[in-house]
Structure formats: structure tokens, C-alpha cells
Structure 1
Amino acid sequence: MNLPNRLTVLRIVLSFIFMFLLFSEGVLSKVIALCLFIIACITDFYDGYIARKYNLITDLGKLLDPIADKILVLAAFLAFVEMGIIPAWMVVVIIFRELLITGIRVLSANKGKILAASLAGKHKTVSQMVSIFVILGFIVLKESGTTIFSFWNNSFEFWKEIIIGIFMYITVALTLISGISYMIKNKNVFWNAKSD
């Protein structure tokens, strides 16, 4: 297994540790969870960068990288639903899209063709990770009892809901757009599957 694929596997491992820490008591666990999430995002950048720069792109990497992204993102969003931070319907939309696209990839892989992540899909992933980072930031602020601006003292929850809502609606929109785009681009996978 080459270095980019090892970084991808590391991201999967970090996802489970991240989720465990998120449900642990105390502000320190939340801070460590935030740090692990940032590290996981960095591995997401560098596995692709190293693979392209040193010509280490493999079929395994093409398949594993988007799966690792999904595990990280869904672990965070499911935790946020359980914590009552975001509405469940948003995560249902995201999960439906991810399962659908994963299904397309599996069908394609069974026919010997590995589908790499699309540009729209990468934008979607970035938006999801930014939203998660913002939510984690609010969690750390709330756990620590600290506010950045004095006018937040009496309206922290209000501003938290507004800001998180904006980021999440953008994320859901990009998730739907990228999913539709991916299906249109790879519609032949469906037709070939039906003809078998």
C-alpha cells in the first residue's frame, strides 16, 4: 500500500476516534476532536496531492478516498443530529446522496471501471468539512463557556443557529447538485446494469 492510500486509511481510523471524543465529557475531548478533524482534512488534501505529484494514483485510491471522506463526514453529521445541533432531515438527504453515489461506484467497479470523484463532488466535500469545522467551533466555545464577542453573551444560541443554518443549507444544496450532476454524468452505469 502506497503513502497516499495509507493517509486515506489513517483518515478512516481518525474518523472513529473523532466520533468517540465528540461524545466524551469535557471541553478537552471536544478540542482534541476538533484537532483530529483538522488533521483528517489535511490528510484528505495530501493523499490526493502526493498521488498526483508522484504518479501514485491507483484504482484502490480512487475507490477508497471518497469512501474515507464519507465516513468522516457522516460520522460528524450523525453525531451532530444526536447532539441536537442540526435537523435529521438534512443528514438523511446527505446519506441518501452518498449511498446512491456509492452504489453507482460499486456497479461501475463490478464492471472493471473505477469512477473517480468529480469536481462538483469535491466542492461538496469541502462545503461539508467547512460546515463541520464551524459546528465544532461552536461546540468548543459552548463547552468552554467562552464567547468571542461581548454581544454574544446573551444571544450565543441565536447566532449559533443562524450561522450553522446558513452553512448547512449551502452544504445540503451542494450535496444535491453534485449528486444530480454525478448521476447525469454516469447515467450509462444505470442503463448497463438494467441490461445485464
Structure 2
Amino acid sequence: MNLANKITLVRIFLVPVVMIFLLIRFDFGIVRLGVVSLRVSELIATFVFVIAAVTDGLDGYIARKSKTITNLGKFLDPLADKLLITAALISLVDMQRLPAWIAIVIISREFAVTGLRLIAVAEGHVIAASTLGKIKTIVQIVAIISLMLNNFPFSTVSFPFSIIATWLAVIITILSGFDYFYKNWKIVSLTKNG
């Protein structure tokens, strides 16, 4: 297994760490950031989430730079993204910082595209992440971080950044889902058993 794929696996292993620090009420204390109060464990979860998100760009860069792009990497990388995003969204719903319907829309798109990828693999094709898919991931990450930090630092000036970022994430998520199916519909329609 090459270095890029190992970094992708680290991202997968960081997913439960983020959830543990977000959802378990550790008594590490509370930090006041302007008008926002956050548990220290929430800050730790956000920090770990940021590290995991950074590895997304890092593994791809290393794979391209060292010319070690593999089918395993093309499959694992989007899977790791989906696990990280899904875990964070479900945690934010549990924390009542995100409406459940938004999480359902985003997660449904992720399952649909994963299903498309699985069909493609069965037909001998690998669907790599598209540009719009990469933009979608970045926007989702920004929205999730803003929700984890309860809109800090924008809350200090009463600017609803987390709401705007979340709506933008929903819109781009839906658009990128349609884009994947539009560009790869031939794979689905040409399946031997379809």
C-alpha cells in the first residue's frame, strides 16, 4: 500500500475520534469565544476534523506527485470523504446545530453516488472525483467547521456565515450529484443485468 492510500486510511480512522469528542460530554471545561461558548471537547473535535479534512488534499497531491494513483486510492478517497462528512453531519444533528433534513439530503446524495461508483466498478470502470465533486467536499467541510464552532468568529458580528455555508453546501451537493449521474449514466444503462 502506497503512502497516499495510508494517509487516506488515517482519515478513515480519525472519523470515530471526531464523533467521540463531539458527542461525549467530556468534562474538559468550556471556552467562551465572544458570544459563543464551546466545550473544549468540541474544539478538539473541530481540530481533529480539520486535520482529517487536510489529509484529503494531501493524499491526492502525494499520489499525483509520486505518480502512484491507484484504483484503490480512487475508491478509498471518496469513501473516506463520505465517512467523515456523514459522521460529522449526524453528530451535528444530534447536537441540534443542523436540521435533520439537510443531513438526509447530503447523505442521500453521497449514497447515490457511491452506488453509481459500485455499479461502475462491477462494469470495469472507476469513476474518479469530478471538479464539482471536489468543490462540493470543500464547501461541505467549511460548512461543517462553521457549525462545529457554532458560527464563531462570525457570531461576534452577527453574520450568519454557518447558515449561508450550509445552504451553499446543500445546493452544490445536489448539483454535483446530478452531474455525476448525467456524465456517467451510460455506465448504469449499459449494465449487463440492467
TM-score range, shorter chain: 0.7 to 0.9
Distance in 2 between residues matched to 1:109 and 1:50, nearest whole Å: 24
**1:60-80 CA distance string (max 9 Å, x none):** 000000000000001001111
The equivalent residue for 2:41 is 29
Kept after mapping to 1: 8 A contact 2:78/2:129: yes
Q: How does 1:91-170 map to 2 (within 5 A)?
A: 91-138=103-150, 149=156, 159=158, 162-170=160-168
Aligned to 1:8: 8
Deviations 1:143-186 (A, max 9, x none): xxx9974xx6xxxxxx47x3322111100000000000110000
Pair 1:83-2:95 in alignment:
yes
Deviation at residue 133 of structure 1 after TM alignment: 1.1
Aligned-CA RMSD value:
1.9
User: Which residue, 171, 174, 177 being the options, matches 1:173?
Assistant: 171
Q: Structure 1: which 4+ aligned runs deviate by more than 3 Å?
A: 146-149
Tell me the equivalent position of 1:193. Answer: 191
The alignment's TM-score, normalised by the length of structure 1, stands at 0.87
Match of 1:40, as an amino acid? A
After superposition, what is the alpha-carbon deviation per residue over 1:87-139, rounded to whole angstroms, capped at 9, x for unaligned? Answer: 11111111111111000100111122111111110000000000011112227
Look up the SS of the partner of 1:186 in the other structure: helix
Aligned residue number for residue 55 of structure 2 = 43
Structure 2 regions of 5+ residues with no counterpart?
29-38
> Which residue identity does 1:48 align to in structure 2?
G
Match of 2:74 among 59, 62, 72: 62
Q: CA deviation at 1:193?
A: 2.4
- Secondary structure, in 3 states, of the residue corresponding to 2:149? helix
Contact 2:154 2:161 survives alignment (8 Å): no
Summarize the Cα distance change of 1:34–1:107 in structure 2 as closer, same or farther, 3 Å threshold: same
Structure 1 pair 182–34 and aligned structure 2 pair: CA distance change class (3 A): same
- Percent of pairs identical after alignment? 40
Cα distance change of structure 1 residues 166 and 79 upon mapping to structure 2, 3 Å threshold: same
Shift of 1:194: 6.5
Report the Cα distance in structure 1 between the residues aligned to 2:141 and 2:171, rounded to whole angstroms. 14
**Structure 1 residue 189: Cα displacement:** 1.7
Pair 80,67 (structure 1): closer, same or farther in 2 beyond 3 Å: same
Aligned partners of 1:114, 1:190: CA distance in 2, in Å? 13
Query: Can you give the 5+ residue segments of structure 1 that lack an aligned partner in the other structure?
Result: 153-158
